[in-house]
Amino acid sequence: MKLLLLLGLVSLAQCFALRVPLRRAKSLRQSLKEHGLLEQYLKLHPYDPAAKYFPSLFSSEPLQNYMDMEYFGAISIGSPAQKFTVIFDTGSSNLWVPSVYCSSPACKNHKRFNPELSSTFVGTNDSLYIAYGTGSMTGVLGYDTVTVTNIEVVNQIFGLAETEPGTVFYYAHFDGILGLAFPSISSSGATPVFDNMMTEHLVARDLFSVYLSKNEQRGSFVLFGGIDPSYVTNGISWIPLSAETYWQITMDSVSVSGEPVACSGGCQAIVDTGTSLLAVPSHALNTLLGAIGVGSNGEISCNAISSLPNIVFNINGQAFPLSPSAYVIQNSGYCMLGLQGMNAPTESGELWILGDVFIREYYVIFDRANNQVGLSQLQ
């Protein structure tokens, strides 16, 4: 089960008058690969966030931070490009956007893909259904060119939404979702976008990394194919995946003031950019709230934040603290806990979801080459 918490809101230039046909130049990556020089180049030129001369090897997608609840970026689909905003979601695997076939209110107030306007679209008769924790969609599958930052993925399969029932997506400030989890959980067996990037050698390394800003500040991004060294000055703690489904890891325990209060025998968690809060199994939530000194209703005074303890996630023998300023969300003088009770049973037990509340404290590296997650605590 995927939990998407929205909290109620949840060009090509003309060739002058001669109309000379445009030809896409080979990228630096393609040229180096054809001459057998790509691997040597990457060893000699690690990612430099200030680099201006070789942007095609490392692709940073800026994300807009909406109220610390939604982080979304721009993509385009089709020829010519039709632009959309999407959540880059590590908790799901499908790409979909609203389409002109959809008459749901949630589609009508968002951008809709029109396949008849794209010369590269290829339709199918295959259907698609995805259920999220808060919202669902149905549609059909098609193929077209998908461009993410400067990465162009040809013949990418994606969903064209025909229904988006309810109000969750109606109030969302994004159009669709681009899943970054594993193919094993992709609905209808659709190949995820990042898998095609890897297969087609469109990224420098088979990983991507994420930085989410705080307090609605700018600067959030997804970096495809690289690790920004300016965000890992505290070192990287690598955690092996326990399943190649979501970005799933094993936690040893969750402790407060040095004492285990939940997950004491070990439990499973996923690192999920598409979930706004920290989702805790319902049976553990009251215990955790009691340990930090908050009542079962979760209400809290903003004046009490400084007296609250850290919540510490013990993972792979290492401690990853979450300070009260991180797990209490402040907005216009009102404070609420960024914790949510939920039940997501799996074969390995109830899942914890380390959503944006957790991710904002760490630069996160999602490494497909080695099936691991890297965490680096931010300053």
pLDDT at 55: 42
Q: Which of 324, 331, 320 is nearest to 359 (CA)?
A: 320
What whole-number distance in Å separates Cα of residue 108 and Cα of residue 15?
A: 35
Running DSSP on this structure, what letter comes out for residue 147?
A: E
SS (H, E, C) 129-142: EEEECCEEEEEEEE
pLDDT at 15: 25
What whole-number distance in Å separates Cα of residue 241 and Cα of residue 378?
A: 22
Which residues does the annotation mark as catalytic? Answer: 89, 272
Q: How many Cα atoms sit within 13 Å of 353 on the Cβ side?
A: 32
Q: Which of 302, 294, 293, 352 is nearest to 325 (CA)?
A: 302
SS3 192: coil
pLDDT at 25: 40
What whole-number distance in Å separates Cα of residue 159 and Cα of residue 223?
A: 24
pLDDT at 331: 81
pTM given for the model: 0.86
pLDDT at 37: 59
> Are the CB atoms for 263 and 251 separated by under 8 Å?
yes
What whole-number distance in Å separates Cα of residue 124 and Cα of residue 132?
A: 24
Query: Hey, what are 194's tokens?
Result: 């990042």
pLDDT at 93: 98
**Domains of the chain and any CATH numbers:** 28-224 (2.40.70.10), 232-377 (2.40.70.10)
What whole-number distance in Å separates Cα of residue 87 and Cα of residue 9?
A: 14
- Name the strand (E) or helix (H) holding 285: helix 282-292
Place of tokens 């402040």: 330
pLDDT in 10s for each residue of the chain, 379 residues: 454 443 333 322 222 222 223 233 444 555 555 556 555 555 544 544 433 333 445 689 999 999 999 999 999 999 999 999 999 999 999 999 999 999 999 999 999 999 999 999 999 999 999 998 778 999 999 999 999 999 999 999 999 999 999 999 999 999 999 999 999 999 999 999 999 999 999 999 999 999 999 999 999 999 999 999 999 999 999 999 999 999 999 999 999 999 999 999 999 999 999 999 999 999 899 999 999 998 777 678 899 899 999 999 999 999 999 999 999 998 877 888 999 998 877 777 789 999 999 999 999 999 999 999 999 999 8
224 phi and psi, to 5 degrees?
-90, 125
Query: Hey, what are 86's tokens?
Result: 């999407």
> Are the CB atoms for 242 and 372 separated by under 8 Å?
no
CA distances from 153 to 34, 95, 120, 190, 196 (A): 19, 12, 12, 14, 7
25 phi and psi, to 5 degrees?
-70, 150
pLDDT at 36: 62
Question: Based on the number of CB atoms within 10 Å of its own CB, is 349 exposed (0-12), middle (13-18) or buried (19 or more)?
Answer: middle
pLDDT at 279: 95
